[in-house]
A and B are shown apart, each in its own frame.
Chain A
Amino acid sequence: EAGVAQSPRYKIIEKRQSVAFWCNPISGHATLYWYQQILGQGPKLLIQFQNNGVVDDSQLPKDRFSAERLKGVDSTLKIQPAKLEDSAVYLCASSFGTAAEAFFGQGTRLTVV
């Protein structure tokens, strides 16, 4: 069974530029999560989808971050414009349901210079 796929693996951009990350969850998983992990900290939930609806986006900085999950499968997370403090690893995870076991992709390491 294929795992959660994320791309790109690494990205370096200048501040004020925009960037997008892509996630393909495990087939059949209805719940999809995006996390931000800053070095030395635990992952912080940015947004959670159930199919193509948003369950929680309370910690998503909506003035610069946006996410969508069209057709309830793949998802993209966008940052526009990026700030230095956005440098982090962005993790995508999926699960069969909200209380089911979640599986993570390899993450995208973003460096904003």
Chain B
Amino acid sequence: GIQVEQSPPDLILQEGANSTLRCNFSDSVNNLQWFHQNPWGQLINLFYIPSGTKQNGRLSATTVATERYSLLYISSSQTTDSGVYFCAGVYNQGGKLIFGQGTELSVKP
């Protein structure tokens, strides 16, 4: 079936460090989103990025649709960046929004 794979599953950083999270998808997608799930379980929209590159403050994302992957960059990480990061894609077949298993990020002071 359609799969979204995220790596790494866990990441521990010192405050101020940079990181790259990866999302691989098994088929072509019409939509690719990145979310941050805060400690209260709320999914916060970070990027809607079917292709190309976008930046928002210390975060940026790049999706290379032809190679079926997306990257989320976090620069100068802060403790408030801690939480789980999910990518999710809408596949051409059926239009379902499918999630990866997430990357759990912990930023230490």
Question: Do these two chains interact?
Answer: yes
Within 8 Å CB of A101, what residues of B?
31, 33, 45, 48
Question: B30 touches which one: A33, A35, A99, A102 (CB < 8 A)?
Answer: A99
Q: How far is the CA of A89 from the CA of B42 in the complex (A)?
A: 10
A75 in the interface (beta carbon within 8 A): no
Within 8 Å CB of B4, what residues of A?
42
B39 in the interface (beta carbon within 8 A): no
A72 in the interface (beta carbon within 8 A): no
Are A103 and B95 in contact, with the CB atoms below 8 A?
A: no
Give the distance to chain B from A9, nearest Cβ to Cβ, in Å: 10
A93 in the interface (beta carbon within 8 A): yes
Are A48 and B45 in contact, with the CB atoms below 8 A?
A: no
Q: How far is the CA of A37 from the CA of B48 in the complex (A)?
A: 21
Number of interface residues of B (CB under 8 A): 24
Interface residues as binary, A75-111 with B (CB distance below 8 Å gives 1, 0 otherwise): 0000000000000010101010011111110110100
Number of interface residues of A (CB under 8 A): 25
Are A100 and B102 in contact, with the CB atoms below 8 A?
A: no
Q: Secondary structure at chain A's binding surface: helix, strand, loop or mixed?
A: strand
A55 in the interface (beta carbon within 8 A): yes
Q: Tell me the B85-109 residues at the A interface (CB within 8 Å).
A: 86, 88, 90, 94-102
Q: How far is the CA of A35 from the CA of B40 in the complex (A)?
A: 16
Question: B41 touches which one: A48, A99, A106 (CB < 8 A)?
Answer: A106
Question: A43 touches which one: B31, B45, B86 (CB < 8 A)?
Answer: B86
Are A89 and B48 in contact, with the CB atoms below 8 A?
A: no
Are B100 and A33 in contact, with the CB atoms below 8 A?
A: no
Within 8 Å CB of B30, what residues of A?
98-99
Residue of A nearest to B50 (CB): A99
Are B31 and A55 in contact, with the CB atoms below 8 A?
A: no
Contacts A56-B94, A101-B33 known; list 7 others, CB within 8 Å. A42-B4, A42-B99, A95-B97, A102-B88, A106-B40, A106-B41, A107-B42
Q: Which residues of B contact A (CB under 8 A)?
A: 4, 30-31, 33, 35, 40-43, 45, 48, 50, 86, 88, 90, 94-102
